[in-house]
A and B are shown apart, each in its own frame.
Chain A
């Protein structure tokens, strides 16, 4: 037998590496990159160190035994489907099934589940036309998801003014329409009836839209004190919304801690991931921001969800800030394609007119401004909340209609909302109109609300630099 020379031995080792390691690495590289983060998520079991003690989740023990959200809902769906397999004409079981489908729709953002929920609710009403609150509330929530707030409120009223879910729906629909005082009244009634995590969170949202910041924090603290083990999704949502509140006021440390705590409770919570991504973008941590946006896409898989356009836009902003105009344009085009498909499907789709309009304005092309303005003028016919009015003001400014834009900003200011970006826009409009004193006051207010509202933050919301 011949002995091997050193070069031949080395080439053997190389061939082993090529034949074994490279295909394995190739498989890992092709299949697993978005999923490695799942591994790290599973290991993050402690609350973030700098999280305020009032916001910590105190039922960590229950988290270990908790099945993940989708699994729990799937079990619920299977349970009601089994019951319906025995008695397919049971209106109550079908209404409950519709409710489970809706939960899945809200957890995943997938349109198919909304359709299933709607079908099940309609069939439930066909089988049980009277006193079927469950089915009516499902239809109400679907209408709200379609931004048909008038229909949503009609269904809520049919379900009964003493029903807590119906009252909750009134809060969210009125808030979305910009009817803050009606939303506030409903929120107060809800909290008086049942002061739990959900009702207090809703009231906090209403108070935030009125600019009552101190009361907002109070409500969130009370909500977290009232939370119970098992309502993990609600706890994650409350922390995500509070995290967003802090982020908008430049308190990034607390914001990040809250969002990470939300992810500890529900590891793939899309809202928390998106807010965290926005926060990282604000702070210039672009790689982390892209990572969080990618997680949202990875976890939703191949099906289109309502989060897709948010992710594409967010990543487009990151690319803009990184100076990659080509990639940024590609991502915005993708987001636009998705939003336009919804517009084509008419009012039955998830009419995100405002999102399409703001996307067109973000693209910054003069040929898109007219369409953006038309979309917003249609949108304000159904809702006049602060964010919608702000987008209208943006469209009016882009179209050169500064006076109209100024009047719209005045309406926003009357609502009492405290938002640094909105005040900055008001200042920009005032400066363009030559109202220097007013302009300075608005810029000052913007700085007070969020001291970190810098060029990067302005660029992220499509504002140029107008300061003196």
Chain B
């Protein structure tokens, strides 16, 4: 009864936390209105970027001399300097060298006769803004244009601030044309920046790519220190056998390579599928699948890691499993109900449980059979003193790394959700290198200091909660990706 009362508050806290964070998947709609709207067509040419902008005339009241709520060509010309200064502050386009383009303002020139015939009451005005980048003074050649040309792969950043003051629902629907490709974007007060990447390539990302790789490497290192990835196997083996540093390195490398290959396999399937199917249609579905997988993986982790914190037993589950898989389940039940310690399942990668139990030399009771008469043990090779072979090490390493871990999958699937599987795989490599480094380090430490270790180090109190918290984070991330993907799919089918 006491036990029940202790658990209930924890479950309710978990429940409410989960529900409240689920609300993050439901975006709150923002209602924009006609009078707050602007539209822009942005064309990136060789020498300039041309923006055809239709906006509420009220934003440039200073130029509307006759107060007809429209900027006539004559008014634009008479206030040209003011308008250029105004737009250079409100709409900034910078090139990759972070140099802001100089803006020139022109009215939409329509032949006078035609203009008078299409004149109608309006609240919006249309202007053409031309952004150019001046060549440095020492490079100027007489007779040649002063503006420097923009390459096809020019990365331009657009910072849009032309919104009605205090109107959070204002927006600008922009169509961007660069190198034959057409993109759409909606600028809002909450979302003012857009990067025109041209032919996007991860190798052009510069510092941001370096940072991402370094981050993935560091994450791999940190992740390697959390439960999983065969550290128990490595530890148990290295402590309990005549292992050398080379064995430790080999084991760590095999685990890491297998793990990376597993993650790449998932990524390869994704890339292959993306070639067969229109990526615009595929991406939201990939995001959805990614999100669901990540959420499911996170949930599994939460359950598994919660067991060690909330002491949830799965005897019902085991009973069912035993009944299904073992004909002599009555005998098995009887065996299970006897009061004895469970054997350590070091090679059972199907479960995320990790019990940090020492592997002792007295291992005769670890030999058993599953009702089929085959006597065997789940202990690592060499733990019982038998000779170590490279083959057994390889098998051990492969088994330790076979199932891709959630963190690397999250990274790869998140990159897929963003449409950049190649970048995701690069980050996975960096992650795996970090992982390999730490596994190797642990192995080497154990080899050189095994005498001083008869059990794995205890975790400090605060770190005990880290696995469950990080698992919860993975689950929420998955839910967020799923929610966003659902909106994209529903929006695409409207």
A1, CB-defined interface residue at 8 Å: yes
CB neighbours of A27 from chain B (8 A): 22, 25, 479, 482-483
Contact with B along A393-421 (1 / 0, CB 8 A): 00000000000000000000000000000
Chain B residues closer than 8 Å to A84, beta-carbon distance: 177
Task: Please tell me if the beta carbons of A30 and B173 are within 8 angstroms of each other in the complex.
Answer: no
Q: Of the candidates B108, B120, B490, which one forms a contact with A143 in the assembled complex, judged by CB atoms under 8 Å apart? A: B120
- Tell me, in angstroms, the Cα distance from A27 to B280 when the chains sit together: 25
Q: Is B109 an interface residue (CB 8 A)?
A: yes
- Decide: B22 and A23 in contact? CB cutoff 8 A: yes
Answer yes or no: A299 CB below 8 A from chain B CBs. Answer: yes
Residues 52-71 of A, flagged 1 when their CB comes within 8 A of B and 0 if not, give 00000000000000001011
How far, in whole Å, are A382 and B448 apart by their CA atoms in the complex? 94
By a CB distance below 8 angstroms, the chain A residues around B110 are: 122, 125-126, 129
Partner-contacting stretch, out of B92-100, B337-345, B431-439: B337-345
Distance of B439 from chain A, by nearest CB (Å): 31
Chain A contact surface mostly? helix
Given A143-B120, A302-B30: A12 and B182 interface contact (C-beta under 8 Å): no
Closest-by-CB residue of B relative to A108 is B494
Q: Is the CB–CB distance between A115 and B124 below 8 Å?
A: yes
Contact between chains at A19 and B22 (CB < 8 Å)? no
A18, A154, A348 interface centre (most CB from chain B within 10 Å):
A348
B212 lies within 8 A of chain A by Cβ: no
Number of A-B residue pairs, CB cutoff 8 Å, is 191
Contacts A8-B3, A126-B109 given: A344-B118 contact, CB under 8 Å? no
- Assess the B23–A30 pair: CB atoms within 8 A: yes
Return the chain A residue nearest B491 by Cβ. A301
A22 at the interface (CB under 8 A from B): yes
Q: In this assembly, does B14 line the interface, its C-beta being within 8 Å of a C-beta of chain A?
A: yes
A303 touches B31 (CB 8 A): yes
- A125–B118 Cα gap in the complex (Å)? 9
**Contact flags B100-133 to A (C-beta < 8 A → 1, else 0):** 0000000011110110011011111010000000
| Assembled-state Cα–Cα distance A22/B15 (Å) | 8
B39 near A: Cβ within 8 Å?
yes
Given A115-B39, A119-B54, answer yes or no on A15-B342 (Cβ-Cβ < 8 Å). Answer: no
B356 CB, nearest partner CB in chain A, Å = 18
Question: Chain B residues near A129 (CB, 8 Å)?
Answer: 110-111, 113-114
- A122-142 with Cβ < 8 A to chain B: 122-123, 125-126, 129-130, 136, 139
Residues in A whose Cβ lies below 8 Å from that of B388? none
Say if the beta carbon of B386 comes within 8 Å of chain A. no
Identify A348's interface contact among B122, B338, B341, CB under 8 A.
B122
A85 within 8 A of B: yes
Interface residues of A in 307-360 (CB under 8 A from B): 308, 338, 341-342, 344-350
A84-138 with Cβ < 8 A to chain B: 84-86, 88, 111-112, 114-116, 118-119, 122-123, 125-126, 129-130, 136
User: In this assembly, does A434 line the interface, its C-beta being within 8 Å of a C-beta of chain B?
Assistant: no
Interface residue B336 (Cβ < 8 Å from any Cβ of A): yes
Asked if A338 and B33 sit within 8 Å, CB to CB, the answer is yes
Q: Which residue from chain A places its CB closest to the CB of B302 in the assembled complex?
A: A19
Kindly state the separation between the CA atoms of A344 and B175 in the bound complex, as whole angstroms.
28
Asked if B35 and A112 sit within 8 Å, CB to CB, the answer is: no
Which of A30, A111, A123, A151 is B34 in contact with, Cβ under 8 Å? A111
Q: Closest residue to B173 on the A side, CB-wise?
A: A112
Q: How does the 8 Å CB contact mask read for A228-268 relative to B, with 1 for contact and 0 for none?
A: 00000000000000000000000000000000000000001
Given contacts A82-B180, A148-B120, A345-B123, contact A123 B52 (CB under 8 A): yes
The answer to whether B52 touches A268, judged by C-beta atoms less than 8 angstroms apart, is: no
Q: A30 to B316, Cβ gap below 8 A?
A: no
Contact present for B123 and A116 (CB under 8 Å) = no
Cβ-closest chain A residue relative to B123 = A348
The residues of A that contact B43 with a CB separation of less than 8 Å are 85, 88
Q: How far is the CA of A27 from the CA of B299 in the complex (A)?
A: 14
Q: Does B4 contact A (CB under 8 A)?
A: yes
* A82 to B175 Cα, complex, angstroms: 12
| Nearest B residue (CB) for A116 | B39
A341 to B110, CA, bound (A): 31
Residue of chain A at shortest CB distance from B314:
A12
Q: A26-B22, A81-B177 are in contact. Are A19 and B121 (CB under 8 A)?
A: no
B475 vs chain A, min Cβ distance (A): 8
Query: By the criterion CB–CB under 8 Å, are B52 and A119 in contact?
Result: yes
Q: Check: B326 CB closer than 8 A to any chain A CB.
A: no
Q: Which A residues touch B118, using CB under 8 A? A: 122, 125, 136, 139, 155
A3 to B33, CA, bound (A): 65
Asked if B312 is an interface residue, CB under 8 A from chain A, the answer is yes
Chain A residue at minimal CB-CB distance from B281: A71
Contact of A348 with B69 in the complex, beta carbons under 8 Å: yes
Contact A31 B26 (CB under 8 A): yes
Q: Does B32 contact A (CB under 8 A)?
A: yes
Which listed residue (B32, B302, B314, B339) contacts A303, Cβ 8 A? B32
Does A161 count as interface, using CB distance less than 8 angstroms?
no
Docked complex Cα distance between A336 and B110 (Å) = 38
Contacts known (A1-B339, A7-B4, A345-B123); A119 close to B41, Cβ less than 8 A = yes
A–B pairs, 29, beta carbons within 8 Å: A2-B339, A11-B4, A12-B312, A13-B316, A15-B310, A15-B312, A18-B14, A19-B11, A19-B299, A20-B299, A22-B18, A23-B19, A26-B22, A35-B490, A71-B493, A82-B180, A82-B182, A85-B181, A112-B39, A115-B39, A116-B175, A118-B54, A129-B114, A301-B29, A304-B32, A341-B34, A342-B33, A345-B34, A349-B123
Given contacts A148-B121, A349-B123, 14 further A-B contacts (CB under 8 A): A7-B4, A12-B312, A15-B310, A19-B302, A22-B18, A27-B483, A115-B54, A122-B108, A122-B126, A125-B110, A125-B118, A268-B494, A299-B494, A341-B33
Task: Point out residues on B near A: beta carbons under 8 Å.
Answer: 3-4, 7, 11, 14-15, 18-19, 22-23, 25-27, 29-35, 37-39, 41, 43, 52, 54, 56, 69, 108-111, 113-114, 117-118, 120-124, 126, 169, 171, 173, 175, 177, 180-182, 299, 302-303, 306, 310, 312-316, 336-342, 479, 482-483, 486, 490-494
Among all A-B residue pairs, the 9 with the closest Cβ atoms: A348-B123, A302-B29, A111-B34, A345-B35, A129-B114, A119-B54, A23-B18, A347-B121, A151-B120
